[in-house]
Amino acid sequence: MEGPESLLVYNGSVISVKRFSDTSMRISYSGLEAYRNCPLKYRFQYVENLKEPKSREQVFGTIIHSVLRYIHTPASVQPTLDQALNQFSQLWNGDAYENETEERAAFSQGVKIISDYYAKNDPGEATIVDLESRFALEIGDDSTGRHVVAGIVDRIDATPSGFEIIDYKTARKMPSQEKVDNDLQLSIYLRAFLDRYPKETEHLDRITVSLYYLRHGVKLSSTRTREQLADLDRQFLAAIGDIEAAKFDPILSPLCEWCGYRRYCPFWKHKYLEEHSVDDDGAQKAIEEILTLRDRMKGDKLRYAQLSETLLSYMEGKEVERVFGSTGIVGKSVRRTWKYDEDRLREVLVPLDKWDAVRKVDGTALRGILPVLPLSARKEVEAAKVPDKESVSLTIKKARDIEALDESVVS
């Protein structure tokens, strides 16, 4: 039975068709990133297909990308700055902004980005190979399962020495050069390029991968090694394995502030219940008492343990991870520790003459030698790590702590 096919599109025209063998999962870099940031959000977005409204940042980024495609689309005469700004104005959508002041600031930022781009780049000088080209890569084998990684490359240029793959970013913060050197998204785009031009695999040193941070007018560039490209499969297959095993535990982080799925999330959904309160008198009283007790825990540990048990039982029954009271939040915290399989670790380190350097088999001892081990050995050491203990406790935040956190996030 033939598997799905992938169309390679250039300027709206299909230029080639690739047919894959039967595959288990189709995933993009954005899907992988969503899973790594919060597996539960991935489930809501990609498994249950719950719609999340586009954020202001996403709407803004889409418009800027469209203008850059307009600027660089091959033509006898490239658009002028005025024409590009006119295109931006026509594409502008202010519906995502809460008020006129916000919209005006965002529009001005867009004008500045485009103007600065023209000041630093001459569109007529670029030798464009392709714009927004779709790709699909098959990864895995019969033992791991065959899967497809799909996506869109913003831009590919021919350079005097080789090629440059460029991805535009409208983010407010720039990463370090080290992060760019190990950026998985750029590795995926390079693999997609080499899948299209396999002979260029022999000239990796001539292919540049770049992130262009448009708000800053800065392009951060890097190259890739064969080892980095090969490691791409491992990272995707590890995430795919967890997804197929239905590992969708939520992760609490500052990104929750901008998540559109909070009303479904066990960390937040209790806040969205009717009247934002616990629908059980015993649990409600437990919340208020445990928040007060936290401030005067001088010996009443037994009562604290009883209240903890009440709330943990309530949260388990409601399938929530946090409960909201009028004076604060009580959450469930799971702590896991790991240990190493000593026999497996010895098999890895003895041939490398590193076993004597590990007097005690634990993470602290291994940190001293891991950086000097070959990549393959580091992977085997990681594979030797097994679960040790798991404990469940409560985390508590008073209302004033939450207000301080909100202020720090906003600032």
Q: What pLDDT, in 10s, does the model give residues 254-282?
A: 888 888 898 889 988 887 765 445 556 77
Residue 403 resides in a domain:
yes
**DSSP notation for 37-85:** H-HHHHIIIIIS----PPPHHHHHHHHHHHHHHHHHS--SSPPPHHHHH
Rounded distance between C-alpha atoms, residue 121 and residue 156, angstroms: 15
Rounded distance between C-alpha atoms, residue 324 and residue 399, angstroms: 10
Tell me the one-letter amino acid at 230: A
Rounded distance between C-alpha atoms, residue 173 and residue 55, angstroms: 17
Tell me the one-letter amino acid at 35: Y
Predicted pLDDT at 7: 43
Rounded distance between C-alpha atoms, residue 229 and residue 208, angstroms: 14
The number of beta carbons lying within 10 Å of the beta carbon of residue 278 is 22
For residues 322 and 370, state if they share a domain: no
SS3 assignment, position 319 = coil
For residues 271 and 290, state if they share a domain: yes
Residue 256 resides in a domain:
no
Predicted pLDDT at 298: 52
What domain count does the chain have?
A: 3
Residue 201 resides in a domain:
yes
For residues 285 and 401, state if they share a domain: yes
For residues 372 and 403, state if they share a domain: no
For residues 376 and 229, state if they share a domain: no
Q: Are strands 147-158 and 25-28 parallel, antiparallel or unpaired?
A: parallel
Residue 261 resides in a domain:
no
Residue 399 resides in a domain:
yes
For residues 149 and 99, state if they share a domain: yes
For residues 176 and 205, state if they share a domain: yes
pTM: 0.66
Of the residues 244, 278, 307, the one at which a domain ends: 244
Q: What is the CA radius of gyration of the chain?
A: 26
For residue 71, which of 13, 7, 120, 9 has the smallest C-alpha distance?
120
Domain that holds residue 361: 342-383
Predicted pLDDT at 3: 46
Output the CA angle 379-383-239, nearest 5 degrees: 85
User: How far, in Å, are 83, 86, 114, 119, 120 from residue 80 at the CA level?
Assistant: 5, 10, 11, 11, 14
Alpha helices in 80-153 (DSSP H): 81-91, 100-120
For residues 179 and 205, state if they share a domain: yes
For residues 99 and 14, state if they share a domain: yes
Residue 283 resides in a domain:
yes
The enclosing domain of 120 has a CATH number of: 3.90.320
Rounded distance between C-alpha atoms, residue 319 and residue 269, angstroms: 10
**Tokens standing for residue 330:** 């009580």
For residues 231 and 310, state if they share a domain: no
In this prediction, the residues of the chain whose per-residue pLDDT falls under 70 are: 1-23, 273-280, 295-301, 357-372, 388, 390, 399-411
Residue 346 resides in a domain:
yes
Predicted pLDDT at 12: 42
Residue 360 resides in a domain:
yes
For residue 393, which of 301, 327, 255 has the smallest C-alpha distance?
301
Predicted pLDDT at 343: 80
For residue 68, which of 176, 193, 157, 195 has the smallest C-alpha distance?
157
SS3 assignment, position 237 = helix
Predicted pLDDT at 198: 94
User: How far, in Å, are 149, 370, 383 from residue 341 at the CA level?
Assistant: 33, 16, 9
- Strand runs labelled E in 193-348: 207-213, 218-222, 322-324, 328-340
For residues 187 and 311, state if they share a domain: no
Rounded distance between C-alpha atoms, residue 214 and residue 154, angstroms: 13
User: How far, in Å, are 234, 268, 277, 291 from residue 285 at the CA level?
Assistant: 49, 20, 11, 10
For residues 116 and 177, state if they share a domain: yes
Of the residues 196, 211, 244, the one at which a domain ends: 244
For residue 243, which of 386, 39, 28 has the smallest C-alpha distance?
39
List CB contacts of 4: < 8 A, sequence separation 6 or more. 19, 20, 23, 26, 148
